[in-house]
Each structure stands twice: as structure tokens, then as C-alpha cells.
Amino acid sequence: MRKTENYYLITGSSSGLGEALSKQLKKSGFNTLGIDKTEGIHTDINIDLSNISNENVLEIKNSLNGKKIDSIVHCAAVQKNSSNDIDDISATFDEVFSVNVKSIYLLVKTLENEFSDFSKLCIVSSVHAKATTKNNTLYASSKSAIQGLVNGLTIEKNEKMSIFELILGAMDSPMLTNNLDKKEIQYLINELPSKKILKPVEVANFIIDLLNQHAKILHGSSITVDNGVLSKLPTK
């Protein structure tokens, strides 16, 4: 595996996939820069991705210590609903799209001069972009928007950056357990062709392999890893 002294910038580093990815990268000898709004073992900078400031960008640049960014992996995401109050709807909409979509664009544009000669951007998306469930309209819409972001940035960056999205199915993470109870999770597992949900560490290792072994053929690609979720959507 190709080693680099440059940094892997990981959003959502305090839990779930972001935490697992940061841990596996460090174990393999890579430098990581973890970003999350909450504290965590692998979080280096506390940033609220729904409201990125110039100060936040400067802090990231200073934390690079003169090195470059090899890769950005955007694991951070917000999945939430709102009430029927117009102010709450608007605030929730802005938060979901700011974290899930806008923050990616802001980081890529504002850190443009900090990227290595050939850098990578992996955006973690969801099967909700293709087939969703009740009360997930905002989350599904934001994940669908990632495809357009990948397309546009791929054209902008050309051969300088490999940009791709990773569409994931159900994964054993705080996001899943915060949205489904144990009974609902077991029902989901029983309905899947594989009879299992994804584990953060196995997805993390897959991402590391993609970034270091296959990035040059992934320009503008969309890769689905879902254990058969889209083959058979659970129905009651």
C-alpha cells in the first residue's frame, strides 16, 4: 500500500464510520485530521459542519503543518425530521443540506491550494438516494444531491483529483440505532438477502483500499455497497 506523509481529512471522526476509518488509517501508518463538532479520540478539530467559518478553514490549514491533503473522506451526515412549523422545517432543511452537501463543496473550494498533486475525495452517501422510506425526505434529497456534486466537481478538477461517492446500505452505527429500535433493526436484517448489515471497520478498510489502490480509475464514479438492500427493499 502506498504510504504518504500527507493528511487524510476525515469528517464525522468521533463515531461510526469516521471513527473506524480514522483508527484504521492510523493503524496503517497514515496521518489523519479528524473533524467533528463533538469530541472524540480521533477528532483533532471541533467544527460544526452546518456552519463552517473562515476561522475553521484557517484552523484546518494550520493543522496540516506544512503538509498537503492527500484525501478527504466525508463521513459526517445528519438524518433528522422536522415538525410542521415553517421555521423548524427551514432550520432542519438548512442543517441537513449544509452538513450533507454544502460542507463538502466549501471544504473542496476553500482548501484547494492545500491538496496534493493527485488528491482524492470520497463522499459517503446512502441507499436513500435511490430508494427511501417514510419521513426521510430531507435526508434522501440531500444524498441524491451528492451525485450532482460528484459530477460537477469531477469536471472542475479533471485529472487533479479523483472524486467518487460510496453509496452505503444499513450499517451498524449511531445513526442507525438512533433512528431504528432493536426490533426494527432485526426486521431489516431478516429481510436483507445477505442477512447482515455493514460493519464500520469493513467499510473503512474498503475505503482505504479504494483511495490507495484504485483512485485513478474512480473519477466521477458511484459505488454501491449495501448487502443487497436495493435488491430487496423491506416491506411490511
In tens, the pLDDT along 212-223 reads 999 999 999 999
pLDDT at 177: 85
pLDDT at 33: 98
pLDDT at 204: 98
Spans in the chain with pLDDT lower than 70: 1-3, 232-236
pLDDT at 165: 98
Q: Look at the pTM and tell me if it is higher than 0.85.
A: yes
The torsion angles phi and psi of 218, rounded to 5 degrees, stand at: -110, 10
Q: For every residue of the chain, which 3-state class applies, written as one string?
A: CCCCCCEEEEECCCCHHHHHHHHHHHHCCCEEEEEECCCCCCCCEECCCCCCCHHHHHHHHHHCCCCCEEEEEECCCCCCCCCCCHHHHHHHHHHHHHHHHHHHHHHHHHCHHHEEEEEEEEEEEEHHHCCCCCCCHHHHHHHHHHHHHHHHHHHHHHHHEEEEEEEECCECCHHHHHHCCHHHHHHHHHHCCCCCCECHHHHHHHHHHHHHHHHHHCCCEEEEECCCCCCCCCCC
Residue with cell 459526517: 76
pLDDT at 133: 85
A 10 A CB-CB count for 28 gives 12
pLDDT at 27: 96
Which tens digit of pLDDT belongs to each residue from 130-174?
Answer: 988 888 999 999 999 999 999 999 999 988 999 999 999 999 988
Q: Which cell numbers hold the place of 141?
A: 434529497
pLDDT at 235: 52
- In the chain the domains, ranked by start, together with CATH numbers, are 7-225 (3.40.50.720)
pLDDT at 174: 85
